[in-house]
């Protein structure tokens, strides 16, 4: 099991890639701009001729998932993953119980620290399975649905 989930989709566009990129540019705020009201556009990101990297424009959870895509003619490939900033924060959260267990082990010995193994493992599992996995599934599905509304795609999971 990987720590951070990713999804890869092979897509088929309803229109050609140039029209899809053009429509996507209309609904995307550039990553380089500083704007006070992000909610006027659906996505924030970078769009090139045939490639793009997008995040939802929602302030709290929008930057959790990043959608990277490459479009050619009527076909394309999408890769959805967790952004680097959130990966760093989540790794730190995963390391907190481990560091606490090691400190307890060094100060109290193994016999007195054995009771901390179960809570440490449970914290890591709950963080990974509940917060990371379900959060990723919900936010990535939301982002892919918005992308589907804009450019019209048919998806196949790889």
- 148 φ/ψ sector (left φ>0, alpha ψ -120 to 50, else beta): alpha
pLDDT of residue 33: 67
The burial of 92, by beta-carbon neighbours within 10 Å (0-12 exposed, 13-18 middle, 19 or more buried), is given as exposed
pLDDT of residue 156: 63
| Interacting residues of 69 by C-beta distance below 8 A, sequence separation 6+ | 11, 51, 52, 53, 54, 76, 77, 78, 79
> Is the CATH number 1.10.3470 carried by domain 7-83+139-157?
no
pLDDT of residue 116: 83
Asked if 62 contacts 43 with a C-beta cutoff of 8 angstroms, the reply is no
pLDDT of residue 64: 92
pLDDT of residue 36: 53
Q: Which residues pair with 77 in a beta bridge?
A: 10, 70
pLDDT of residue 8: 93
| Interacting residues of 117 by C-beta distance below 8 A, sequence separation 6+ | 101
pLDDT of residue 66: 95
Grouped pLDDT means (10 residues each) for the chain, 158 residues? 88 87 87 63 87 87 91 90 93 90 84 82 89 92 90 71
């Amino acid at each position: 099991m990987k720590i951070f989930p990713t999804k890869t989709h092979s897509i088929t566009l309803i229109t050609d890639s140039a029209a899809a990129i053009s429509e996507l540019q209309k609904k995307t705020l550039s990553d380089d701009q500083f704007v006070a009201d992000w909610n006027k556009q659906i996505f924030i990101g970078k769009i090139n001729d045939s490639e793009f990297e997008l995040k939802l424009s929602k302030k709290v959870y929008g930057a959790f998932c990043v959608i990277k895509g490459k479009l050619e003619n009527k076909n394309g490939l999408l890769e959805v993953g967790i952004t680097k900033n959130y990966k760093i924060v989540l790794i730190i959260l995963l390391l907190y119980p481990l560091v606490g267990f090691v400190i307890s082990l060094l100060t109290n010995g193994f016999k007195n620290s054995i009771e901390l193994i179960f809570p440490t493992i449970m914290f890591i599992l709950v963080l990974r399975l509940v917060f990371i996995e379900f959060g990723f599934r919900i936010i990535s599905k939301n982002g892919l649905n918005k992308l589907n509304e804009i450019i019209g795609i048919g998806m196949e999971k790889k």
